[in-house]
Structure 1
Amino acid sequence: MHVFATAGHVDHGKSALVRALTGIEPDRWDEERRRGLTIDLGYAWTRLPSGAQVAFVDVPGHQRFIGNMLAGLGPTSAVVFVVAADEGWRQQSSEHLAAVHALGISRGLLVVTRSDLADPGPALADGRSRIARTSLGDVEGVPVSALTGEGMPELLAALERLAAATPPPRTDGRVRLWVDRAFTIRGSGTVVTGTLGEGTIAVGEEVDLAGRPARVRGLESMEQQHDRVGPVSRVAVNLRGVGVSEVARGDVLVTPGAWRLTAVVDVRVEPVGGSERLPGGASQQRLPSQLTLHVGTTAVQAHVRPLGADAVRLVLDRPLPLVAGDRAILRDPGAKRVVAGALVLDADPPELRRRGAARRWAEQLARATGTPDLAAEVGRRGAMRVEDAVALGIPLPPTHSDEVAVHGPWLVATSALEGWSAALAQALHRRVAEQPLEPSLTAEAAVAVAGVPARALLPQVVHAAGLELVEGRVWVPGVRASLGAAESGLRELEERLAATPFAAPEQPDLDAWGLGRAEVAAAVRAGRLMRLDDGVLLRPDAPARAMRVLAGLPQPFTLSEARQALETTRRVAVPLLEHLDNRGWTRRVDGSHRQVVR
């Protein structure tokens, strides 16, 4: 699939053009259709005569909705620029073209609409001349009339050529999906949509959305269900584990552990095409101290600190998954205009505290746009992704070196890996000595104490330290939680549950066995007990043993029937059945009956 964004002045026929191409109404709101004015992003798709699939992100043209326009333009790699023959180039035409140039979009097509109302020649010549001075360069121009159909076959042919000229995306990269819509479907839950530019999403896999873990429940593209969706695609992702109220446009769905969030980035400021607002040189000195950064579908406030002739540091009001090579737009919210484009040079820049540090760092950034030294750059950061090095133009070694090692998609400084592993080993051995009931660290805690820049690097650090990573926790080999005097009590409890698996102990039983809160927690972490809701303790194999009993009951069954078959109490049966429901092993049929899911 190819995903193209529309662009152009309000009321120049973008939505009518998309409608004529696809047969789909891109204006989703009643108010949009009533006013004949696109307010929010619209989506439509079609199949070209060659069989290629094309989706359109229809953006609003009115100046008041420029933020929505930028959200639609950000994730796409090609643009269909629309100018009306009877009105010609207008104010928002320039604003949209400035945004296209700021994002560095280099592939596009000029479409002159309403050619049945006026001679399209002047608008074609003027539009191509203006566009030629931007990142789009010399684009093809096609006059059409969505009303009469004149020029539509030529437009389809031009779209075929535009699609063929678009390079294939990476299907094996990490996922970064900028969310442009979030809504709920009854019976399915939360759904988010966006343009998938690289990587592949699959049903059942875990993702991270706005800092929250979630699981992909279903995938849809072009109204078709899929088990996997690759780039470039318009995709709707049905998620489990996140509420619709917790998600909004501008949030990002990413591969867990694959992205580092940053709130400080150094960028090269680039003048907008065809504009005299930034004449070059020290133009960024006139930038306001507060701007809005538009990247993907998100917009965040950014404090601007000048560094050098064309470099600034942006301090964002919230962290984002950005890397070197990303392109963004800087917009003045007061003047309501695009100020400049921004090319991310460093998403993990050093602190600048000493006098003259900003100037010296700006000089180093300028050199970094050439061919920086790999060992020096990775050594300064500790680790960096291979993609970031490529974006900075750093030549990569074919194999490990004494200074830099390649770990999957990461380049890691050998000295940094040694430092992280030593810090982790020291912290864990200290914990074993001080807290024998909890002699391990969670993966998150291990990352923090070792100073590892990304969770994805933790396995390498653990291995280098001679430790073990088991089910999300880091252990010293051969060391597990020691219950001391309470060990005999735990063995008695295990023996009782082996004989009567659903006879969960009461508090007096635990007290008699010397199993306090800390001892029980240690036994649960060690996998010797499992804790259900309401503090019910059973053996870890209890759910599987319960299923064997429940499968033998007439289906569906009631809570009372399940309780009697399991020879247990309501205190145990209620949370146990809810646990089985949550695992998808049983399901409710009505208010009082369940059945085993075969």
Structure 2
Amino acid sequence: MHVLCTAGHVDHGKSTLVRALTGMEPDRYAEERRRGMTIDLGFAWTTLPGLPRDGTVAFVDVPGHERFVSTMLAGAGPAPAAMFVVAADEGWMPQSAEHADALAAAGLDRGLLVITRCDLLDPDLALADARDALAARGLGDWPAVCVSAPTGAGLEDLRTALADLVSGIPAPEPDADVRLWVDRAFTVRGAGTVVTGTLRSGTVAPGQELELDGADGRTAVTVRAVQELGEPVDAATAVARVALNLRGLPHSAVRRGDVLLAPRAWPVAREFDVRLHGIGGPPEVGNSPVGLTLHAGSAAVPVRMRPLDAGAGLIRLRPARPLPLRIGDRAVLRDPGARRVVAGLTVLDPKPPPLRRRGAARQRAGELAAATGTPDAGAELARRGTVRTAELTRLGVPGPEIRALAGRVPGAVGLLLHPARALSAAADLAAALARHDAADPLDPGLPLAAARRAVDLPDAALVEAALDWARDTSSEAAEVPVVRDGRVRTAADAGPPAELLAAAAELRADLTRTPFTAPDAERLAGLGLGPRELAALERAGELLRLTPEVVLLPDAPDRAVEVLRDLGDEFTPSTVREALGSSRRVVVPLLELLGRRGVTVRTAGGVHRLR
């Protein structure tokens, strides 16, 4: 299916043309037919021979009156092309100008100009004026057709021109993430809540789980049934006009401007950086940060504006509610008070960094100066320093591009690290490690968690990835720290100081003679071994501390198990103490350690046995 927005004209000339093309009545309300003026969105469709896919063209007939421009934008926003209607007997009208401004601002540059009512007046003057007006807005290459709906003159030419227009629209990816902007929501007796919209990406089918993104946040919903142009279908693939029956959702919970999304696939844009596009000239947004409305899809949301570089058209917008926007999305800024379209915009970053410091806006503008609005994995990684692959997907970067980038840069656990960021992190870690070891030689090395915080990386796994990358690419690889035993250490780390190792050697000699007679506090003090020294020796694998004051050799538990095997099926602490030639001070914590390791089991009778 192909979907066109029908815009431009205010009265029944436009609706009459749609009716002549499709044989359907696009004006749904009796008041519209009585007043000769479209008030709300109307829908009609027909088939055209020679088209790819199913040959169906659907029309979203939008109101033309200046009071309904917001409704017009709700219908035009998701449409990929437009049929722009101007009456020969009325010519280019003020509402024609605002409709053309809106289409140009939204980036809807595929269209067809149709001059109607050619039976009432020669169309040449209206055609020339319309061509000039569209050209001034960057839409001058649209083909044009002159028709008369009542007489049928030119309708065949119009059908041919429509076929040419829609056949040139690129086909979307059927496996893309679903995003359906809701333009109608109503209740059907016996079925419940139904929403309609133009499906621009992905495929929807009965039973599919989606997220409803609205004023109250995101809610999980299930699609009960799908209709395409009034007929039930097993699945609808973009681009298509669809109606979805949603299970378990009250009608009051959904309204025009809400959007149905593939779960967890779209960012929650609470603020976003954009580049403005003027309409026939530089954008003029004024100095006020408030008073503007953002039209994205079928949504119309008040926004606050913060200039980053007004001269370059770079601004940050904060909408009244979050929106599911990706890099490259187009939208329209409108001043509802002045009833004018201010500018179009392209989303450059739907998840920008906060601006907290003086000069941060100017620095941010510099970072965005070369941004094109096309999702680019390398550019996003360079701008952010580190990014999750899932976040790149949500931003709109294609999967193959993400996978290709992941093979060229450091990363871990679904995170990518820019090579320059990896090198700077490695250098900063070396400096932090040197300061730490100088201040505390008994505790050499930084724990991974502390190292991650020292260089502000989002995950400790990236610490090792950064160091590995620096070691592989640096000419001074020997100076790059290493990760060993859960700590970042210097490559030449020899463990505890020499005097501490000498004291440990004396202690080992004592325990070699009597392995289960732990030295008392006096002996430890005589060797200069306090709690911090003992902790450092334990980290180095020189000793095993059963408690802060009870110290044995690292292999003491294995030696004890060999003795316990000769004590029969069960044993008590007393029998163990006698067998080991030790004391209760050592045996009780030793048995507790063996129990924690799963070597022994304590029975219901309070005795122990080997597992």
Normalised by the shorter chain, which TM-score bucket? 0.5 to 0.7
Q: What amino acid is aligned across from residue 329 of structure 2 in structure 1? A: D
In structure 2, distance between residues paired with 1:136 and 1:287: 30
1:18 maps to 2:18: yes
1:314 deviation in Å? 0.6
Distance apart, 1:285 and its partner CA: 4.9
Q: Where does residue 50 of structure 1 map in the other structure?
A: 50
Q: Report SS of the residue matched to 2:270.
A: strand
Partner secondary structure for residue 360 of structure 1: helix
- Report sequence identity in percent: 53
The one of 69, 72, 85 equivalent to 1:82 is 85
The residue correspondences of 1:476-487 to structure 2 (distance < 5 A) are none
Deviation at 1:136, TM superposition (A): 2.9
Are the equivalent residues in 2 in contact too, given 1:374–1:396 (CA < 8 A)? no
Partner of 2:242: 235
1:227 maps to a residue whose letter is: D
Which residue in 2 is equivalent to 1:40? 40
Partner of residue 340, structure 2 = 337
Q: For the structure 1 residues 191 and 405, does the alpha-carbon distance in structure 2 shift closer, same or farther, using more than 3 Å as the test?
A: farther
1:222 aligns with 2:229: yes
What is the rounded CA distance, in whole Å, between the counterparts of 1:124 and 1:349 in structure 2?
45
Q: Which amino acid aligns with 1:240?
A: R
SS at match of 1:304: strand
- Does the aligned pair in 2 maintain the 1:323–1:388 contact within 8 Å? yes
Once the two structures are superposed, the pairs formed by residues 471-550 of structure 1 within 5 Å of their partners are none
1:140 aligns with 2:118: no
**Alignment partner of 1:260 out of 233, 256, 267:** 267
1:96 and 1:406 map into 2 onto residues whose CA distance is 48
Residue pairs, 1:256-405, within 5 angstroms: 256-273=263-280, 279=282, 283-286=284-287, 289-308=290-309, 309=311, 310-369=313-372, 373-383=379-389, 384-386=391-393, 388=395, 390=397, 397=404, 399-404=406-411
The one-letter code sitting in structure 2 at the alignment partner of 1:244 is H
Displacement of 1:169: 1.1
State the distance in 2 between where 1:190 and 1:208 align.
15
Distance 2:381 2:113 in 1: 45
Contact in 1 for aligned 2:28/2:42 (Cα 8 Å): yes
CA–CA distance in structure 1, aligned partners of residues 396 and 265 of structure 2: 15
CA distance in 1, matches of 2:346, 2:371: 13
Aligned length: 410
Q: Secondary structure at the match of 2:385?
A: helix
Q: 1:347 to 1:398 in 2, by over 3 A?
A: closer
Could you list the per-position Cα deviations for residues 518-566 of structure 1 after superposition, in whole angstroms to 9, with x for gaps in the alignment? Answer: xxxxxxxxxxxxxxxxxxxxxxxxxxxxxxxxxxxxxxxxxxxxxxxxx
Name the aligned partner's letter for residue 43 of structure 1: F
Partner SS state of residue 320, structure 2: strand
2:197 counterpart residue number: 194
Calculate the aligned-residue CA RMSD, in Å. Answer: 2.7
Structure 1 SS opposite 2:60: strand
C-alpha spacing 1:12/1:451, structure 2 compared with 1 (3 Å): farther
Q: Is the 8 A contact 2:12 2:36 kept in 1?
A: no
Distance in 1 between residues matched to 2:406 and 2:247, nearest whole Å: 41
Given that 2:184 and 2:196 are in contact with CA atoms closer than 8 Å, whether structure 1 keeps it comes out as: yes
Cα distance in structure 2, aligned partners of 1:339 and 1:313: 15
3-state SS of paired residue (1:195): strand
Deviation at 1:91, TM superposition (A): 0.3
* Structure 1 CA distance for aligned equivalents of residues 31 and 396 of structure 2: 47
TM-score (norm 1): 0.65
Are positions 1:250 and 2:253 aligned together? no
Letter in 1 for 2:293: T
Q: Which has the larger displacement, 320-329 or 377-386?
A: 377-386
Summarize deviations over 1:541-598 as a string: whole Å, max 9, x none. xxxxxxxxxxxxxxxxxxxxxxxxxxxxxxxxxxxxxxxxxxxxxxxxxxxxxxxxxx
Letter in 2 for 1:64: R
Specify whether residues 405 and 202 from structure 1 end up closer, same or farther in structure 2 by C-alpha distance, changes over 3 A only.
farther
Q: 1:335 aligns to what SS in structure 2?
A: coil
The residue identity in structure 2 corresponding to 1:47 is T
Report what 1:444 is aligned to.
Answer: none
Other structure's SS at 1:150 match: coil
Relative to structure 1, the CA distance from residue 63 to residue 375 in structure 2 (aligned partners, 3 Å threshold; closer, same or farther) is closer
Structure 1 counterpart of 2:27:
27
With normalisation by structure 2, the TM-score equals: 0.63
Offset of residue 401 of structure 1:
3.4
Q: CA deviation at 1:353?
A: 1.2
* Cα displacement (A) at 1:386: 4.1
Q: Which residue of 1 aligns with 2:6?
A: 6
In the aligned structure 1, how far is the partner of 2:138 from the partner of 2:393? 26
Which deviates more from structure 2 when the two are superposed, residues 96-105 or residues 6-15?
A: 6-15
Which secondary structure does the structure 2 equivalent of 1:25 belong to?
coil
C-alpha distance in 2 between matches for 1:96 and 1:291 = 17
Q: CA deviation at 1:367?
A: 2.4
Q: Deviations over 1:101-148 (max 9, x none)?
A: 101112100000000000011111221222123343311110101111
- The answer on whether the counterparts of 1:325 and 1:388 sit within 8 Å (CA) in structure 2 is no
Distance 1:120 1:387, change over 3 A: farther
Distance 2:67 2:197 in 1: 23
CA contact (8 A) 2:196 2:242 kept: yes
Give yes or no for contact 1:9–1:91 (8 Å, CA) kept in 2: no
- Per-residue deviation, residues 233-261 of structure 1 (Å, max 9, x unmatched): 00000110211111100000011111121
CA distance, structure 2, for counterparts of residue 396 and residue 13 of structure 1: 52
- Distance (whole Å) between structure 1 residues aligned to residue 193 and residue 416 of structure 2: 38
Runs of at least 5 residues in structure 1 that lack an aligned partner in the other structure: 417-449, 453-598
Structure 2: how far apart are the matches of 1:406 and 1:13? 60
**Which has the larger displacement, 370-379 or 48-57?**
370-379
Are the structure 2 counterparts of residues 204 and 401 from structure 1 closer, same or farther at C-alpha, using a change threshold of 3 Å? same
| Long gaps (5+) in structure 2 | 422-456, 460-611
Contact 2:267 2:324 survives alignment (8 Å): yes
Q: How far apart, in 2, do the equivalents of 1:344 and 1:193 lie?
A: 25
SS in structure 1 of the partner of residue 249 of structure 2: coil
User: Partners of 1:405 and 1:249 in 2: how far apart?
Assistant: 42
User: Does 296-305 or 30-39 show the bigger shift?
Assistant: 30-39
